Amino acid sequence: MSRTRILTGLVLAPTAVAGLLWLPTEWLALVAAVLLLAGLWEWTRLTGLSDPMPRLGYITANALMIAALAWAAGPNLFALKAAALLGVAWWVLALAWLWRFEFGQADRGRFRILKLLAGSLAAVPAWAALVWLHQLPGHGPRWALFAVMLVWAADTGAYFVGVRMGKHKMAPRISPNKSWEGFWGGLAGASLIAVLAVKPLGLGWDDLPVLVFLTIVAAMMSVAGDLFESLLKRHSGHKDSGHLIPGHGGMLDRLDSLLAALPVFMVGKLWLGL
C-alpha cells in the first residue's frame, strides 16, 4: 500500500502543480469545482445518505451555488471574498464540534442535515478562495500553488515526524494516529515552504515573518479539516471516504485539509496585506 501511495502521489502531484501554474483561471475553476463536487459526493456517504437521488440533488445544489458565485463575482470579486469569509466562520465553529466529539454521532435526520450543510460550508468557500488566489495579477497562480503546497508540506512533515517520534496523541477518539509531535513537525514543514517561497511569490525578505505567520495559521487549520473528516468517518464507521485514488482512499481524503486551509489563507492574505 505504501508503494502504491507513493507511485500515485508521483503522478498526481506534478499534474496538480502543472494545472495550478498553467491553466487559465476559468479552466482551473472548472476543474476545482469538479474535484470538490466529487469530494462532496463522498461526504454524503459519510453523513449516512445512501439514496442516489438525494445525493445527486445535494451535488446539484452545490454546483449551482458555485456557478452562482462565478456569475456574481464581479470585477472586484466581492462574492468570492464573502464566500471565503463565511468558510472561515464555519471552520471556527467546527473547532467547537471537534471538541464535542459526540455531537451529531447519532444517526438522526437533523444531524444528517447539519453535516450536509457543513459540507457545503467547507467546499464552496474553498473553491472561492482558490479561484480568488489564482486570478491575482502578477503571481496569482504561484499564490494558489503555495496555498496548496503548504498543506502538502504540513501533511508530509506531520506524517514523517509522527511515525518516527509520535508519542503523545492529539485526538485519540477522532484520529488515533495523529500525535502532537507530528503536529509540530507539520508546522515546521509548512514554515520551510514559506521560506523557500518568498522570492517566487514576489515578496521581500521583510515580508517573511508575516508570510510564515499566515502559513502556520493556515497549516493549523488544515489539521482541523483533516480531523473533521476523520470525525465524520468515525461517526459513520468508514475507514476511508472512498476508493477512487489508489493508496490514498477517496477524493475527500485528499481534499479535507485544503477545505479548511484555503479560505483561512485567502482571508488572512487580504487582512495582512500580503
Instruction: Give 108-138 pLDDT, tens digit per residue.
Output: 778 889 999 999 999 999 999 999 999 999 8
User: How much is the pLDDT for 203?
Assistant: 93
Q: Give pLDDT, residue 204.
A: 92
Cα(20)–Cα(134) distance, rounded to whole angstroms? 8
**pLDDT band at residue 235, thresholds of 50, 70 and 90?**
confident
* Sequential DSSP letters for 47-110: TT---HHHHHHHHHHHHHHHHHHHHH-TTTTHHHHHHHHHHHHHHHHHHHHHHSTTTT-S--HH
- Which tens digits make up the pLDDT trace of 31-47? 999 999 999 999 999 98
Q: In sequence order, what are the residues at sequence separation of 6 or more whose Cβ sits closer than 8 angstroms to the Cβ of residue 65? A: 120, 124
- What are phi and psi for residue 77, nearest 5 degrees? 55, 35
pLDDT digits (tens, 9 = 90+) for 182-215: 999 999 999 999 999 999 999 999 999 999 999 9
Q: Structure pTM?
A: 0.91
- Residue range 68-82: mean pLDDT, rounded: 85
Question: Quick one: pLDDT at residue 111?
Answer: 86
Element housing 178 (H / E): strand 175-179
Q: Average pLDDT in the 218-227 region?
A: 94
Confidence (pLDDT) at 5: 64
Instruction: Give the residue from 123, 110, 135 showing the smallest Cα distance to 48.
Output: 110
Grid cell at residue 177:
494516529
The average pLDDT across 224-233 equals: 91
**Residue 49 clears pLDDT 90, i.e. is over it:** no
24-44 core/surface letters (b: 16 or more CB in 10 A; e: else):
ebeebbeebbebbbbbbbbbb
In sequence order, what are the beta bridge partners of 175?
A: 171
Give the whole-angstrom CA distance, residue 237 versus residue 219.
Answer: 27
As a dihedral over the C-alpha atoms of residue 11, residue 257, residue 213, residue 191, rounded to 10 degrees, the angle is -40
Confidence of residue 152 (pLDDT cuts 50, 70, 90): very high
Q: Which helix (H) or strand (E) holds 209?
A: helix 208-236
User: Across-strand partners of 245?
Assistant: 249
Confidence (pLDDT) at 236: 82
User: CA angle 90-169-93, nearest 5°?
Assistant: 10
Give the 3-state secondary structure percentages of the chain, helix then strand then coil, rounded to 5: 75, 5, 20
β partners of residue 169: 179
- 163, three cell numbers: 511515525
H or E element in which residue 266 lies: helix 251-272
